Each structure stands twice: as C-alpha cells, then as structure tokens.
Chain A
Amino acid sequence: AQKVTQAQTEISVVEKEDVTLDCVYETRDTTYYLFWYKQPPSGELVFLIRRNSFDEQNEISGRYSWNFQKSTSSFNFTITASQVVDSAVYFCALSEARAAMDSSYKLIFGSGTRLLVRP
C-alpha cells in the first residue's frame, strides 16, 4: 500500500532561518511521482514541484530546494532564508504512474506540516 508520512505536525521559525520539511513515503511501485503543495491561509493548493522516481537529482528553485533520496524513501523540502509569506501548510504527496511520462491523477497525501514564520 502507498503511504506518505510527514512526521512534523507544526514548525515555528524566525524569519531568515532555514527550515527543512520532512517527507517519507512507502510504495511498491517502481515508477511513481512525488509532489509538494503549499496551502496558504487563504486555502487554495499551490503546486510547488513534481518529481518522478527515475530522477534523483536534487532541485533548487530560488529559496526552495528539494532532496530526493530513494535509498531512504524521502523527499525533503528546504526553505532557505524563510519569510513570513512562507507561513502555510505544506503537503507532500505520492502518485502511482502507469508509465514514466504518464499523468498522475491519484494522489496520496501526507497529513501536512504547518509552518509558521515569525517576524
């Protein structure tokens, strides 16, 4: 069975601190996708990244970076120099994929990590 665990329920940091959000997943599939979504207080879900299981390269996008490690089944998310606007709930999610380039439409979500960045 597929499962996503976000053990950190809530994290509080002071602005400009770096923070890492942990995500551990379980799947028997050899081909799958991993995602991160941001849910700000307004409630919408904002897509941050999608990574397929064949691509273990780390990714950096501005202050955001992601560390994918198949050996530990983890897909952690780091925010560098956090800002108050980063305050939100962050969800990690997993999806099966019929093929490496197929769509991922059945997401299994973790329970989310609430990040509070204090000024």
Chain B
Amino acid sequence: NAGVTQTPKFQVLKTGQSMTLQCAQDMNHEYMSWYRQDPGMGLRLIHYSVGAGITDQGEVPNGYNVSRSTTEDFPLRLLSAAPSQTSVYFCASTEQGGEQYFGPGTRLTVT
C-alpha cells in the first residue's frame, strides 16, 4: 500500500492563478480530509468527505473547493490563489474506528 499520496510536493503560484492539489489513498477509507498548517497555528480543517459524493466544510473553507467522485481521490482546488493561502497542506484519510493517516504534505507559496 502506498498509503496517502499528495502531489505536488512544492508549488509556487502567482496571485489569481488556479490549481488543484491532488490527494489519493489506496486503503479504501471512507473518510478523507484536507488541513492547512500555518506557523504557530497548528493544523486547521478546510474540507472533509465522509464518502464518495459527500463533502462538507471545515473550519477554514473559504477560497477552496473539493469534490469526491471516487473513494480513492479527494482533490482540493484553489480557484483564485491569494497570498493568504501560502501554507503547507495535508490530506488525510481515516479508517473506520481507527486513526487518521496523513499524506506527506504540499508546500504552497503564493506570490
């Protein structure tokens, strides 16, 4: 099993550009989540999904969209990047009754 994979590992965007952060898991987990990590603030939940076709907002959803068309994939879209979205993004999947498995993270810089 590859676990939770995220691409790209690093990305630099200009203000106003759009992009999609990819997340995939091969553990057949129903639950997946996206977090952002900013210095001194820990991780904050952006969006989450409890199964294919079902998504909901977390603590800081503004500026981000998600969709869940398959169990395996949970992409995070930035429609118009802003400097405030400079952060490290972590995707996670959760097994039923178990722990969350985190991906390696994507470091995004918006200039």
Contact = CB atoms under 8 A, between A and B. Distances in A.
Interface residue tally of chain B, by bracket?
Answer: 20 to 34
Interface in A89-119: 91, 93, 101-112
A116 B92 CA distance: 27
Contacts of A35: 99-100
Interface residues of A, number: 24
Given A101-B97, A107-B100, A45 B42 contact: no
Given A103-B31, A105-B33, A106-B48, A47 B100 contact: yes
Chief secondary structure at chain A's binding surface: loop
Contact of A106 (B30, B42, B58): B58
Interface of B: 30-33, 35, 40-45, 48, 50, 58-59, 88, 90, 92, 94-102, 104-105
B58 to A, nearest CB: 7
A9 B39 CA distance: 11
Contact of B94 (A44, A105, A110, A112): A105
Nearest to A89: B42
A43 interface: yes
9 contacts: A44-B102, A47-B100, A101-B97, A103-B94, A103-B98, A104-B94, A105-B100, A108-B45, A111-B41
B33 A106 contact: yes
